[in-house]
Chain A
């Protein structure tokens, strides 16, 4: 579909909603409707607001409208040998850039390269007063004003309608290989977290199916050299493995009615929770397909200082994200109110209270 700037139309719809007191359910391509709490409100379709607005590979920055398909952004970058280094999952063919940033979704490279939020440089948005505002910019370093563009990343559209975003991009590595090692979870955790203090060009590490997987990326020589140092078996279909992991196409992701995303410090030993596990992000992001009650899972994870998202399935009207402490929730409510005083954007999508 052709590129189109519908900023003004979107702004009018927001202003109308403010007048009518209606709430809005901001939608890109609809690929992330399964995430977060159930959506309520009149759909506000951002999916037609699309097109890459500025891209100069030498600047390492791309600016695109938020309805632009993620695949289109990635294809354009690939032509210049570049990539979104946070390796976002798509979760379907309709994924847009805006939805990806709003949910701050990052893939296997995240612990080594940074998250969607880390690569966000600026954005233009409509706030809950119906104003079009711009924060951040198209340059790597910018400390003028509070960092409201990174605040939009991971806010699930509850703070404003993003119109376009500028992201830092990076060159694609010249080569990558995947190594596998047979071991149990505890040994894999030790191996993966041990590598955090080693200067190897590791850019993905996970434990799945009694195998620890490491991805090495960099110049051909560097990869070959490190491969000799680290041993292990080379996985021929390495690239495809990381893709199916990132896109949740492995059986585990749909193995139980509920899939939990568990965040812990990477060196945390295996947790005593029944279900099927996959440890990604070098042990820092753990997926658990389980039938155990969510309260039990949250309690166990809290003991090691981690937090839990009920990622797929279960009751989508209950607590999906980790509950916040009372003072922190109060602060977040006040912050929400500062951007969206009438509470029209994606009400309850993150927490019932915001």
Chain B
């Protein structure tokens, strides 16, 4: 390897990278870099020094060794669908795309697991497992595009995680390249692994602890039957209360999603899913399992929803209609994108019992700010996605949108929830991290990072704010404020 000093110019870095990788795996021209300037949160944009597209694990190791030697920051990127700026490049850093590590290595049907490279798309795993009657459960709405490596780095959820869990519950083992180029196996092909649970720690670590180069996921049998019920309500709060009532009946739906009027009409225009446009809110409640169980649960759920004041309760007539109901839901973000120049997607999670209160408060603020909000979210697990509609070309509107967003997230923390349920902190929620955590807790996060990456070269400046930043932000933790459970010291 060419030896280059830390102060070396970009050209030395480029030459060293070219010595390690095939010519078309190193991009340095600005027109080639542009496609990588942002992730799904496009309000943040930045060109990196270079983009590298390794094709083998050995190449990833060589890249990390070089960056480590030169002290050059490294940002990993999967498919770039992240919604918090996690894969945002750094001006003085290398962007490492895992897109070419895209092979499904092994489907082990006898043990119901699959081993894949990080660039494999989420949906491709289920497609490859389908001939065995198996599938990979977590299904983010972005599943046709997002990578499994990105899913692990974000601990992504999906519309079915109420019953089947998040990424962390559905993976067994990963292989990770450390910043000094070491290849480590974390977890095991068995149901648990010796030592500390580094697999849990790596899941959701947003590229700050290591580069994930291989993942072994758990596969589940496709349920015998899945059926979805659509319920319409004339009031968002009633819909929120119905969510709790379904859970209280001892039923865990496979998915329990909610959309409000604005989201319904946008999705309807886009997907023609047959949603009732006059409803203030709809719930989509999916039941799956054996045929007998689904029939029983459908009946119970229909009764509960009617008793909770639903104006209409409709069971999908067939598989095609069921798919259509979900298509509307899964395309809600792009659909909202068509009715507004820009939208800002929030991702707080709250205890379910707080749904009515929080939804009411958001709509009050929406009027105050003059910024419409479309709500489309994972109601079953209290994971809100208010989409604030705005126009970035209007002076000051982005700033007001961000302020409104901060208020929503602070409210989530106040009622005992969190600032991010599945989209991650990335670049976006650094300030709200100061609201949720105290300095001792943030320090602990930094200490953990140090154990993996002592020089702070992996995705630096993301996910965990510096104490300095929090002091400037000036809003340390609100959770001692209006707690819904004063008996709980810190939750």
Contact = CB atoms under 8 A, between A and B. Distances in A.
B193 interface: yes
Given A115-B192, A199-B223, A263-B191, A143 B451 contact: no
Interface stretch (B47-55, B324-332, B378-386): B378-386
A59 interface: yes
Interface string B324-366: 0000000000000000000000000111110000000000000
A111 B223 contact: no
Contacts of B451: 331, 334-335, 337-338
Contact of B447 (A60, A150, A263, A339): A339
A222 B292 contact: yes
A154 to B, nearest CB: 5
A151 interface: yes
B488 A53 contact: yes
Contacts, number: 282
Contact of A111 (B178, B191, B290, B490): B191
A305 B185 CA distance: 12
B190 A138 contact: no
Contact of A150 (B197, B429, B488): B197
B188 A263 contact: yes
A140 B289 contact: no
B195 A142 contact: no
A134 B196 contact: no
Nearest to A160: B444
Nearest to A321: B194
Interface in A256-286: 263-267, 281, 284-285
A338 B154 contact: no
A187 interface: no
B448 A335 contact: yes
Contact of A145 (B193, B200, B433): B433
B194 A141 contact: no
Nearest to B351: A59
A151 B197 contact: yes
B311 to A, nearest CB: 23
Q: Which of A81, A118, A144 has the most CB of B within 10 A?
A: A144
B162 interface: yes
A110 B169 CA distance: 12
A331 B198 contact: yes
Interface of A: 5, 7, 53-54, 56-61, 63, 81, 104, 110-111, 114-115, 117-118, 122, 124, 127, 129, 131-135, 137-148, 150-151, 153-155, 159, 166, 170-172, 174, 193-194, 196-201, 218-219, 221-222, 224-226, 263-267, 281, 284-285, 305-307, 309, 321-325, 327-329, 331-332, 334-339, 350-351
20 contacts: A53-B487, A57-B248, A104-B197, A118-B165, A137-B417, A140-B161, A143-B418, A143-B425, A144-B425, A150-B197, A151-B196, A153-B200, A155-B197, A201-B289, A222-B292, A265-B108, A265-B189, A267-B110, A325-B185, A335-B452
